[in-house]
Amino acid sequence: MTHIQHSTYRLAILVAAVFVSGAAQGMLLPLLSILLEKQHISAALNGFNASALYIGVLLASPFIEKPMQRFGYRPILCMGLIITGGALLLFPIWQSFWMWFVLRLLTGIGDNMLHFSAQVWIMTTSPKKKKGRNIAIYGLSFGLGFAFGPTLSRLLDINIYMPFFLVAAGCIVFLLASLLLENAYPEKEFSEDIGERITSFSRYKKALQLGWAGLAATFAYGFLEASLNGNFPVFGIRNGFTVEQIAYLLPIFVIGGLITQIPIGSLGDKIGRRLLILCVTLFGMSGFVGAILASNSFIGLALIFLFTGMFIGSLYSNGMTYISDLLPNALLPVGNILAGITFSFGSMLGPFVGGVLIRWFPDGYFFGGIAGAMGVAFLCTLWSKQPNSSKRHING
């Protein structure tokens, strides 16, 4: 088989595959929450089920780097698409709480394989002057997919199989396109910048010491994303919102983030990532406190989701960029893995905390949990050192 090496084609396929991944995540969170709510599953258990996807991401994170070094980017990417697409095909066939938990777990594993290979492949093959732009395109594509995903909930009126099979078909299409890519391999030695062959444990420890503030931002975004998409449908149904209104509200936050994704990223290049994250998390915290007061208003929540999305919708990509500011190049793959792990912890905790808050405080107070996560990211960033200062002490 003839493989294509052209960088534009490679970037297009990776970005398109990430769009499908975003659509899968954006669809599964609200769609399964609605279906479980109709089965009279408690809000806490509903949130626990939603966390399975991120448990899968967490489980896969420590084990991806070595296979990718051995087999290259393309096989890991393709395997991620196969696992994700296969799991999606099985969701409507086995409709039970625990089967959906297992399938969400598998989807998380496939999703992490896809994202890790795509992220590192883009970062290592992009010219330095285009790296920021390419990562922004990557984040924009995932965000578009994630915004598109919840709209598929409306296909339930046609057939329960329709939304799952549509996204699975997308996985198959880009799996076939990915097979045409010329395979590439990451550098074997990631420890060049920090000395001779240090152990994996030492690399993780050093990355945590240097990049913890950026990891707090990825944790907060995971909490926000999973809680908003996993808990809000339950809250909305219990408080008189229709499924159609929920399907319209959820993408509004993501759309807000898409509008400002590239401008906010560029602003961070000018004023520094630390100051940027301080500003956006403070605004996000204030916005979700306001959401408690507007929790029964469709228009009020739509406006709050839009404007908070414009400020913190790109918090994950800004957190990732902040991590790259804080870490030496040798530790960037480890930082990428840790960002996935902290994002997963936040994503597992968010729906559970939100479910508990919905049960005990039904009047929109689950938004307070999201505000609290933004507050954690704000404080960690406030206490962090300037990136340049951190990078000088990579051996300390």
Facing residues of 181 across strands? 4
Contact 47, 231 (CB under 8 A): yes
Structure tokens at 84: 């994700």
The CATH number of 7-180+197-391 is which of 3.60.130.10, 2.30.42.10, 1.10.3720.10, 1.20.1250.20? 1.20.1250.20
DSSP state at residue 386: P
Which residues 6+ apart lie within 8 Å of 243 measured at CB? 34, 153, 154, 156, 237
Q: State the virtual CA torsion across 355, 36, 166, 243 in degrees, nearest 10.
A: -80
If one counts every other C-beta atom within 10 angstroms of the C-beta of residue 83, the result is: 22
Give the separation between CA 177 and CA 66, rounded to whole angstroms. Answer: 25
Give the amino acid at 75: P
Q: What is the pTM of this model?
A: 0.74
Domain chopping of the chain, boundaries: 7-180+197-391
pLDDT digits (tens, 9 = 90+) for 224-260: 988 888 788 888 888 888 888 887 888 888 789 888 8
pLDDT digits (tens, 9 = 90+) for 312-324: 988 988 888 788 7
* Residue whose C-alpha is closest to residue 329's, from 190, 161, 234, 233: 190
Give the separation between CA 336 and CA 122, rounded to whole angstroms. Answer: 13
pLDDT digits (tens, 9 = 90+) for 71-115: 989 999 999 999 999 999 999 988 889 999 999 999 999 998 998
